[in-house]
Structure 1
Amino acid sequence: MTEMVEQKELKVIVFQLVDKEYAISVDVVQSIEKLLSITRVPKTPSYVRGVLNLRGVVTPIVDLRERFGLEVKEMDENTRIIIVTLKEYEVGLIVDAANDVLDISIESIEPQPEVVGSVESDFILGVSKVGKRLLVMLNLTKVLEPVKRSLSDEI
């Protein structure tokens, strides 16, 4: 009976970019780090801020604001780097703030509303209403696919 309940809910990390809240499954999140020293890598897309050595693993770092075509801002004490693992690679995502860990009902996830001209729309799985909050569910595979390609081209 417990397995049925678990399948109906998804545990997510909620983070902020500008004035929107986004969510990704905790299954892919390795850690959430405060601002760390990032080393720039030449010939990578502008949204790839560089790499950092995190506990002996060299991890590429992506600025999600820049990836989504949003206004880039200076990092501050609220800035976090969410380390995610997808299949065989690990990537850090720079976000404005990491807010919560929530359980959301899978049934509450709706398809993304059609928004013409939204740069980030290709990266969205759907949206979920949690109380008065609207969470944008990210498709990390699409967000990170060019990062994986550009880094393998450099190696």
Structure 2
Amino acid sequence: MGHHRCGASRRWRHRGHHRLTDAPAGPRARRRPQADGKSRRQVAPGQSARRDRPLRRSTDLRWRFEPIFRLAGEEYGVPIDAVHEIVRVPEQLTRVPRTPAFIEGVVNLRGAVLPVVDQRRRFRLPDAERNDRQRIMVFLIEGVRTGFIVDSVSEVLKIPRSAIGPAPDLGQDGGAVDRIANLAEAKRIILMLNVDRLLAREEVADLRRAA
């Protein structure tokens, strides 16, 4: 079965920092040192970190850095270490017969078969037409590399831990949203996901069969 290859990817390298770009995988460009010697501006709480340079893991326990994606008009955050990479949605995915409806299909990601989940359908949200802002976020869930289609990925956000609290148990997402960040000054509420709860164990078994 011929799987469709994904396009340019946002590469997340686990070597002490993370990068969020839309550039294709390839040799890393050398960065010129600053000529004026001025220090870089600090990121204010609730504002996005720069997307054109590596983002180092924070050793300051007062903050969390989370990639933010949108789904049906709401903003979601995921732990930065949970994101393996972000790729564009190909024009067509390969459908696998007799798989659950939330499995959109599979794609060929650099020679490996990647099962892809429609996150709108998984959260029982209305379907959306495919567009060039959509992305596939790749996570590792119980040893299975899995892609989740989201409406868009916007930024890596610096969130003060003091703004994070437990999410109410509404019973609609299987406990995937376990915390909420209330950024009052920015007038934003971020629904923070526990990636390990995005799929039930039997659903992970379905993904293994699809791949």
TM class by shorter chain equals: 0.7 to 0.9
Distance in 2 of aligned mates of 1:89 and 1:141: 11
Richer in helix (by share): 1
Q: Which amino acid aligns with 2:204?
A: K
Which of 78, 89, 93 is the equivalent residue of 1:24?
Answer: 78
Structure 1's 92 and 153: CA in aligned 2 closer, same or farther, altered over 3 A?
closer
Structure 1's 44 and 100: CA in aligned 2 closer, same or farther, altered over 3 A?
same
Contact in 2 for aligned 1:48/1:147 (Cα 8 Å): no
Which of 122, 143, 150 is the equivalent residue of 1:88?
Answer: 143
Q: Which amino acid aligns with 2:64?
A: L
- TM-score (normalizing by structure 2): 0.65
Deviation at 1:142, TM superposition (A): 1.6
Match status 1:129 vs 2:196? no
Distance in 1 of aligned mates of 2:145 and 2:106: 11
Match status 1:64 vs 2:119? yes
Contact in 1 for aligned 2:174/2:197 (Cα 8 Å): no
Contact in 2 for aligned 1:28/1:86 (Cα 8 Å): no
SS of 1:71's equivalent in the other structure is: coil
Deviation at 1:87, TM superposition (A): 4.7
Which of 55, 65, 69 is the equivalent residue of 2:110?
Answer: 55
Match status 1:148 vs 2:209? no
Consecutive unaligned residues in structure 1, runs of 5 or more: none
Structure 1's 153 and 76: CA in aligned 2 closer, same or farther, altered over 3 A?
closer
Q: Which of the pair has more CA radius of gyration?
A: 2
Q: How many residues align?
A: 151
Q: Which amino acid aligns with 1:77?
A: D
Deviation at 1:18, TM superposition (A): 0.8
Deviation at 1:68, TM superposition (A): 0.4
- TM-score (normalizing by structure 1): 0.86
Consecutive unaligned residues in structure 2, runs of 5 or more: 1-56
Deviation at 1:8, TM superposition (A): 2.9
Distance in 1 of aligned mates of 2:173 and 2:167: 11
Richer in strand (by share): 1
Structure 1's 4 and 52: CA in aligned 2 closer, same or farther, altered over 3 A?
closer
- Give the % identical residues: 31
Runs ≥4 residues deviating over 6 A? none
Contact in 2 for aligned 1:51/1:60 (Cα 8 Å): yes
